[in-house]
Structure 1
């Protein structure tokens, strides 16, 4: 059967709730799909999009952690990993190796409570290859999983848990909440990633049983989205999937809400937290339940923006925090409404709880207005379009609806329900699910500050992993599995040929210059009715004085907090009513003003951008709030191993007295001493059209764009801004190990590298090509294959050159299991040594295949197009610079790679930074062979 999903009627409704009701809205914007089912139960959904010569393939299994057994948790997520490694016909490396060869976006996957998906975007000449590979996952995979493969992947998943949960501030919050919100026999009682003990206990028989039960065609949806021939694709789907046998019937699980019979108060002393955090949780309803839509609006209204009751009470009045987070998390079986407040340092969470009561009381008294409801819906419309800006985004949405609503066309009902929410609905769901209802309150406080926790809280049960040297089992994942091959009606070992080579169309770029000096770079694109704007004002932190660090960041923080003519609340409301987003951000080398808006609201959005830029409010109250927030962020960074590593590495690269080595947030001392006059002085000296580049991508023509900028051209006068002359920092003459102690760290964060060449150097892109096989190619890279796939030391590792006009760096970064810190660095050292001498023609073929073929999808999204424009403007590149880079890749030889490797990968002239547990790992690092490790906490640590 064939269904067509047309947005004409839907968008008319959506427009009607906007303050600007314009007839020229994109009524012809359609998302068509066709759905059919194979005899074995596989659901297939096609969506054709001819805008780029690419195709997204997504395979989604209706199995997440909710289908697991207690004591064998984490299996669904484990299979997210295993299914990429190998299958009978793809061999070792599986889909990851294939992806690199065909120029894919990098095969990836994700797991939730209720589903696991596998996806990537490839040039459309590789579609048959992808269907062949995806079918191999379902029908010709499980025999290749051996005990060594399972043992290795257990370590990878455990490293992921350490990185995302155990070694992160507040990482155990969800575990504590879910253990108390859902009964022990409820499938949401455990975490998606599972427990370390359960993963370790999993046997090969357990894993095979899980796969054979759930990864069957009748429990899977295949979505193909992009530029392809439908009839040909149907033939391929039948060819590769038809003979996979249907599995046991999968029964639909029935919704089952969480249960809280009385208020529960729990606390945890968090080793990585520096400020206290209070989280409230209430049980609500499952996804697509009629009440879920009003709960979404309630969460956004209560917490987001200046008008939000929680912002007014906790941020503005009580000054307890800089931000209140609130959301209604819905899953297939249940929902949970969460409110989280990360308070300022040393704030008592009982004070926060009292303020929460006041905020709820304020809402009860005032309710939500029609105007505020309209404002929220306008933002939902923009988000909707942003989600459909790529073929993969459209594919995800079709699969989601097909699995959980049993209808890819459910999007019509979904949007209708969003738009049907009334102010009465919002008040009703508050009273039904939140007001006077039992909740779970979790207080996560810094270690040693239990007194900050909510009164009468009991200690939460949190499992902390001990650091034990040599505790993990050994394995050899390279051992080939021996098994009887799964039969097929044809020879599946033969990889399908490429289709017709796609025609790569580089977007047409236009340039213009305004009278005041602003350089304009644009690409017209009408795939979705959006316009994205990125204004880059060169300078950023580089223009600060060392005793005024953080001035640019603070200035950027308050520029969207009102204008000379609008209060902070009025400005925010004006932006929200347009469904737009406007942000200002200060980085190390620039201040950026960005906007994302519906095309029909472009003029109004631009007018607000101009007002923000030219008429800052300099609101004293907002300034003080921003200072408090920034100081809190700095304190939180002091215990975050990744932030510590980033800040320390910059100091080791540039030297402590170089402006480039400083945290863009500033220091607690400099931020505390900044005045609003310091921000004005920065603004007056450095914000000028003479150092500004404007990049625009979207549904607007060059003529319309230039014309729209006439006001900005006439009102914004240019002044001379002299950017600093910066030198390239000197690379070390010999390697040295530096160690930053984070007691009890479950992982060691590694940053290994040195000051390299700027992006304008003639060797910069060739060196980037050289790095692809080393650590820039994801699963095609040696670092990933050795540290993750070979040893299970890490969840992820990467290397790369980064640079600007002034300088650059080469960096290898990873988070590794604490008890293999030395072994990981020894392996990196060995890989660096062997990269050049060991580079082969096959490596060169993989490098060229990916870097050339991936150009077919290089400009698909608006973000990619904006990045292209910024490269052109920043480095004065030709519009077709991608062709020049392609020529470099085509001309690369094994010998050139080896020469570049010898020149730029000298292991003996690098910084080797480790951020981890010194008690167990510092002395071991002597064995790396670079002398006595230097402890650097005093050099780069927090202020005393």
Structure 2
């Protein structure tokens, strides 16, 4: 996939209208909430779904093809996912760069896609004036694409997909677990036996003929659903859909996928010594049911009840009683033709997984004795109601919901039946599915353990077979993806080479912000939005790691997490139940510069949720048992991060940017040594000295008025003692006088993680936003950026690369980051250096036009979701930005000149004054980096 993954959330405890203008009366009615749709079918079989939502001047367009890895055959796996990549590159009338290139001009969210076992989708949210352009472009991909694919283009994209596999599977802890499960759960001829990413050997063997045959079979109108959701005129859109899609020829009839559930005749136990794992992980997988099977609903409730929260039987045995782990997961994964039930435990260091397995069974026995109460069933449903509304907070979310039901249930209106199925789950249903699918049933058990620690695997396990490629220097094929394809254009009844014009320019809606300071010093910032009956809030208490003792880094992190582990009058379990019974979620965490309490709740329960926040904030429990569990959990997290190359790169880069003794050089979760030193008294001292309304901002967005917010906070305002908080001076990090290369050795790494940068700007600096403008065409614009175009699209070195300026109230780093194929580490870094050298020199009018077009037009969708509105309030409160800063930034963009970009590039993008950090295999890559001209690389972890 490019970058996105979407899961359909279930819907509970409410009645919702789904109406289809061409259908009969809806099953259920409620005037409080409705999601209307219109569905029609073109003569060629294309299914089209419209949903009108005029709350923001944006529209989401999604094209979903009913083909995933399940439609592939053995020996030709990975094709569906490969196509997801190919369709963004070019089509006959969009030309090179395809939809990615157009997205930058029209201010889109970035054309993206994802592939699953059963479908592939392509989607983007754009300002509403670009709708006709999007319909034209999506039609071009469906009917006018395949002629543009050449041997060099195919060769390049194979490398990109290989890099994705290395990054997502080969170069991370437990990355091969899903592969081992699939091979042992499903027979060899079952479509779910192989992974969506496919096999590297199959990808390498794919021919242009294979690719064209796959496309012509599955990428036809009668196998595709087009969804359009947002602010548009349905009548006009229907004309455009007919014009651009109508003459694309229907394909051969597509057979329905037959349900193919599996039954295991024996339990299979496999183990694997993982090069990147520091902690042992046990996964138990039972075969279950396909998407929308009646039992899937009860299985979801069962998984939630058994593992989530203090009351959960498996949490009690594994976490609280035996202290073998800090978390346990159990969830139903339903796909189109089969499903599985997955229980996963990542245990603490050196834990025998046989003990974990035995403790799981103890938890099951306890559950069998007590079952699930109606009260707990209702609590779980309340949380899922809130989740549903969250899934509808964007037009893209609404579009995805409707397409999901159309493709896998045959009707977008299936939402009504889905609600009914969920509401009909009973406590006896939960026990029944446990007995049917779990108790005494065969399963696949996978034990992933650190290298050399096979003794920790579940007793009776045999070694798993995992196919791993070897990275060989100079072995990759060369190609020139810029060579144009020579073909005869597909005929059309009109000139498709002419890009449609923009529609009427949308009025950019900058949300109305209200502000107030209460008598305690607590500052309020709010945006009222009644699109969905939800309220989201974020309370930010300034301080975080900045106020910690350098010898005990991690105090604020432990404190933040402990706040939700009970209150003076509520045990941890009672507090958890109180929150969940409201259908709310509350998260507490620390950052480098703050402690955060965030929440999400139904409007009707907002006041009660804030009452609980008052308890959490002002009446902490200081529970010693929870404190010990938290410390063990954090120590486990620290151990895990030591094995993840991306975490290693992040931690080491911070040290190099700020210097070893700088407070911001630390990871705010701390080190093994610092966390072990932290006591409960340390938390109390921090709390009493540093937690004050005088340094706190409360941000709230959603379906609640300012008066209701102020009233809800009266208790906090009246009882929270205000005090003066003194912040230490934070030294500005120094820009290096000359570049230096640093290397962190991860023996056998399939990829090298690259971080390049230097201390640049604070978010409050006058040049900060201009620097973001400068960076758009370099590496901030996704597929519109030079870094992506040259390293991914041109060379196939990487799956992704980006650059950014990251400032706060303090000077933060400019960073270029990527993961590249190990055997092109030097070539990648050298190319990045070359791009930086030439960026300002070569920046031209076209670059300026693309930058301005994107940054101005994208404002139409800048504040669509509740989350984006919260981000806006955070920027205003933290950096003292004016309320209309988005409009002011727009003026900055409009006034920018090419000459200013050139001058800024010379000031802020000097590759000879940067820190170069590479995390990878030193044995094969270290020496070559001397060719960069920055001296011998410094090895940071000499053995």
Same fold (TM over 0.5): yes
Deviation at 1:13, TM superposition (A): 9.1
- SS of aligned partner of 1:937: coil
Cα deviation, 1:393-435, whole Å, max 9, x if unaligned, reads: 0000000000000000111111111111000000000000000
Partner of 1:18: none
Aligned to 2:815, the other structure's residue is in SS state strand
2: CA distance, partners of 1:700 / 1:10 = 21
CA distance in 2: counterparts of 1:794 and 1:777, whole angstroms: 16
Shift in Å at residue 10 of structure 1?
A: 7.2
Alignment map for 1:699-778 (pairs within 5 Å): 699-778=703-782
Q: Which position in structure 1 is the counterpart of 2:552?
A: 548
* Equivalent position of 1:369 in the other structure: 373
Give the structure-1-normalised TM-score.
Answer: 0.97
Query: Paired residue for 1:293, among 288, 292, 297?
Result: 297
The residue number in structure 1 matching 2:698 is 694
Partner Cα distance (2:181, 2:13) in 1: 38
- Match of residue 3 from structure 1: none
Of 501, 505, 511 in structure 2, the residue corresponding to residue 497 of structure 1 is: 501
Question: Aligned match of 2:14 in 1, 4, 11?
Answer: 11
Instruction: Flag the 1:175–1:903 CA change in 2: closer, same or farther, 3 A.
Output: same
Mapped contact 2:12–2:385 kept (Cα < 8 A): no
Aligned counterparts of 2:842 and 2:265: Cα–Cα separation in 1: 64
Counterpart-to-counterpart distance in 2, 1:471 and 1:581: 51
Q: How does 1:415-430 map to 2 (within 5 A)?
A: 415-430=419-434
Deviation at 1:26, TM superposition (A): 8.2
Q: Secondary structure of 1:499's match? A: coil
Residue 265 (structure 2) aligned to one of 258, 261, 265: 261
TM-score, scaled to structure 2: 0.97
User: Tell me, what secondary structure is at the counterpart of 2:179?
Assistant: helix
Deviation at 1:239? 0.2
1:258 deviation in Å? 2.6
Match of 1:911 among 890, 910, 915: 915
Aligned partner of 2:107 in structure 1 is 103
Pairing of 1:634-653 with structure 2 (within 5 A)? 634-653=638-657
Among residues 537, 544, 548, which one is paired with 2:541 in the alignment? 537
CA contact (8 A) 1:549 1:666 kept: yes
Give CA deviations for 1:774-813 in whole Å, capped at 9, x if unaligned.
Answer: 0000000000000000000000000010101121110000
1:280 correspondence with 2:284: yes
Question: C-alpha displacement at 1:727, in angstroms?
Answer: 2.3
Aligned to 2:483: 479
Partners of 1:781 and 1:667 lie apart in 2 by 36
Q: In structure 2, what is the equivalent of residue 843 of structure 1? A: 847
**Which residue of 875, 891, 896 corresponds with 1:871?**
875
1:111 CA drift (Å): 0.4
Partner Cα separation in structure 2 for residue 114 and residue 651 of structure 1: 44
Match of 1:454 among 445, 452, 458: 458
SS in 1 for 2:248: coil
1:64 corresponds to 2:92? no
Residue of structure 1 equivalent to 2:512: 508
* 2:59 match: 55
Correspondences of 1:780-929 after superposition (within 5 Å): 780-929=784-933
SS of the residue 2:840 aligns to: helix
**1:562 has 2:563 as partner:** no
**Among candidates 673, 677, 681, match of residue 673 of structure 1:** 677
Distance in 2 separating the partners of 1:150 and 1:669: 50
Q: Deviations over 1:456-480 (max 9, x none)?
A: 1100001122121011111000000
Deviations 1:828-884 (CA, angstroms, capped at 9, x unpaired): 001001100110100000000000000000010000000000111111111100111
Change (3 A) 1:777 1:295: same
1:172 aligns with 2:140: no
1:11 Cα deviation (Å)? 2.1
Runs of 4+ residues deviating >3 angstroms: 7-10
In 1: Cα distance, 2:252 partner to 2:533 partner: 45
Q: Matched residue of 2:14: which SS?
A: helix
CA distance in 1, matches of 2:925, 2:858: 41
Unaligned ranges ≥5, structure 1: 1-6, 15-24
1:435 maps to 439
Contact 2:77 2:198 in 1 (8 A): yes
How far apart, in 1, do the equivalents of 2:775 and 2:939 lie? 30
- Using the alignment, how far apart are the partners of 1:469 and 1:610 within structure 2? 60
> Take 1:574 and 1:618, find their aligned partners in 2: how far apart are those partners?
19
8 A Cα contact 1:373 1:423, kept in partner: yes
What residue in structure 1 maps to residue 188 of structure 2? 184
Structure 2, unmatched stretches of 5+, are: 1-9, 18-28
Alpha-carbon distance change, 8 to 642 in structure 1, aligned in 2, over 3 angstroms: closer
- Please give the alpha-carbon distance, in whole angstroms, between the structure 2 residues aligned to 1:724 and 1:523: 33
Shift of 1:9: 12
